[in-house]
Amino acid sequence: MKKFISALLCVSSFSFASMIGLEAMGQEQIAGGSAAMAGRGFAGNAKTGDAEGVSVVNPARQAFDSKVALNLNFLLDVSTADRSKSHYTKTNLSMPSMNLSFPMGDFGTFGVSLWQHYAGSMREDFENQEENQKAKIEYQSSIYELVPTYAIRLPFYRAISLGASAHFVMGSFTRELTLGPDNSAIGENDAWATTDTDISDYVSGDWEIKNHPAYYTFAAQYRGRMASYFFSFTTPYTLKNDLEYNFRFSEIDTLVPTKHTREIRVPAMLATGVNYRFNKRHNVMADIAWRAWDKDIENAAGSWNLSKVTKTQNDFNISVGYQRDGSDIFYDSYWKRITYRAGAWFKNWYVQDVSEIGGSIGAGFPLGRKGTMLDLAIQGGVRLTDDDRNWSESYIGIRLGLLGVGSWGKTRGQ
């Protein structure tokens, strides 16, 4: 267990690979980043089942679950940013979310998710002595949400459920840019004073929500025989990032930091989706989530020639997916018991002029009799940019989800 926890902590200290929006909030992990969702193009928040688990977009869904589900998700992400002749590749390993849902029959379903909603990380250095260049950049930003959710089916109309979740936000931001000296502007006789003296522009701070403990999502879900729908509303909120920034000459030799708080007004999100089931085990689904940003995002401690703000745009995510549920009959062949998934998405980022097109295929491999499953998804796509600062990126990724299912509180045959 100890080993497992330390491995988990190790993985969760990494974050996502995109280099876009590092100065703002980083890359957003859609739909909790679950491997099962990713396999079907992040669609299927409306899909119900007996152990679909927590959906951070649609908290009402879990009311239809009948089994306790614990779900851990991992992401291995390779992303290449390129512009003209330069390209730059990063590989990241992260743990976008951990979810637990706990159905209590007529008392509804309680769930909790730990979701790395936004993250950005980068740690690279480079040196070119001929041109007096020496730089090391380190970004480490993570906005985590602890999301308790509760959903219940209406007692008088069981096809409809209502759900709500509270998102408690936490996290940290660090940017450290270490630079070597460029003595070209001073006389040769004075160069001794700065030779080999590196300095670091250091920014760090915590994330929280301003004036409120959390932001909230409310959702309603309808489960029909063939078609299921959901609609959710997420309240707007203001993210507060208390930053301290200073110069560091070494770890123990620093200036007294300047304090600055940046506030990011995240708009309300509307989301809806549909899942259509046919031929018993085949599902097609489509989801859309939409937010109208009206304020730019202040960048972390603007300095050098960094832009002061990250301009925003209306951010939306349209996804379509297909899933063939695996047979839950243990005596069927293994191939039949595997769940197959495929999907595609188009996402307009919150960062202006950045859009993402992606596709994925995935499968859920049942392990043992009880419905325990290992979800695998392979995704790939491009992030297109149309400005001077952000580079376009292409990426591939592998997601792994572990789904543990238990039928607590149920007698055999129920």
Partner 1 sequence: MKKKTFILFPLLAMFLSSCLFDSDDDGLSSWLSDQGMPSSYKVQMVEVDGLKPESAKLYRDTLPHTASSRGFLGAASGLVHDAVFDFAIDSAFLADMKEADSAKAYLSLYLFDGFYKFKNLPSNVLPIEEDLKLNVSWIVSEKLNTADYYALESVVDTVWMNELKSWKTKKKADTTLSVSITKKDSLLILDMPSAFVDDVRKNSGNRRLQLRISAPEASHVYRFYGPGSGLLVSPLLYMVEMKNNSYKGYRANRAATMTSNREECSDCLVLHSGVYDSLVVEFPSKPIMKALSDFYGDKFPYEDGNGVDVRQAVIMAELTFYRDDSMGENELGLPVRVVSVTYADSADKVVRSTESYIKFNDSLVVKKGHQNLVFHEGDSLSLQVTAGVRDFINRASDGRSFKMSMMFDLPILLENETTYANRYINSKGDTTYVAFPYSDFSRYDFSSIKDKPARLKLWLASKRGEE
| Residue numbers at the binding site for partner 1 (CB under 8 A) | 19, 23, 76, 78, 80-81, 83, 85-89, 91, 124-126, 128, 131-135, 137, 177, 179-186, 189-195, 197, 199, 201, 245-247, 249, 253, 255-260, 303-307, 365, 374, 376, 378, 388-391, 396-398, 400
Q: Give, in order, the Cα–Cα distances in Å from 158 to each of 64, 106, 139.
A: 9, 10, 48
Residue 88 CB, nearest approach to partner 1 (Å) = 4
Instruction: Considering the complex, state which of residue 81 and residue 147 has its C-beta at the smaller distance from partner 1.
Output: 81
Minimum distance, C-beta of residue 51 to partner 1, in the bound complex (Å): 20
Name which of 62, 35, 34, 31 is nearest 47 in CA terms. 62
Which of 6, 197 has the CB closer to partner 1? Answer: 197
Query: Least Å distance between CB 141 and partner 1?
Result: 15
Name the minimum Å distance from CB 73 to partner 1. 14
Residue 145 CA to residue 132 CA, distance in Å, equals 42
Question: Least Å distance between CB 395 and partner 1?
Answer: 10
Q: Is the Cβ of residue 108 or residue 397 nearer to partner 1 in the bound state?
A: 397
Report residue 78: phi and psi, to 5°.
Answer: -120, 125
Both tokens of 132, joined, read 């007096």
Element (H or E) spanning 173, and its range?
Answer: strand 160-179
**Closer to partner 1 by Cβ: residue 189 or 414:** 189
| Cα 31 to Cα 55, 249, 271, 281, 354, distances in angstroms | 7, 41, 11, 23, 19
Q: Are 337 and 326 in contact (CB under 8 A)?
A: yes
- Contact between 152 and 108 under an 8 Å Cβ cutoff? The reply is yes
Amino acid identity, position 214: A
Supply the minimum distance, in Å, between the C-beta of residue 21 and partner 1. Answer: 11
Residue with tokens 């099962």: 36
- CB nearer to partner 1: pick between 183 and 407: 183
Smallest gap, in angstroms, from Cβ of residue 258 to partner 1?
A: 4
The helix (run of H) or strand (run of E) holding residue 125 is strand 109-128
Residue among 184 and 414 whose Cβ is closer to partner 1 = 184
DSSP classification of residue 255: P
Shorter beta-carbon distance to partner 1: residue 148 or 404: 404
Smallest CA-to-CA distance from 358 within 388, 390, 408, 399 is with: 399
- Largest Cα separation within the chain, whole Å, is 88
Q: How far is the CB of 152 from partner 1 (least distance, A)?
A: 37
Between the two ends of the chain, the Cα-to-Cα distance in Å is 32
Nearer to partner 1, 123 or 212 (CB): 123
Question: How far apart are alpha carbons 321 and 42 in whole angstroms?
Answer: 7
The SS3 assignment for 339 reads: strand
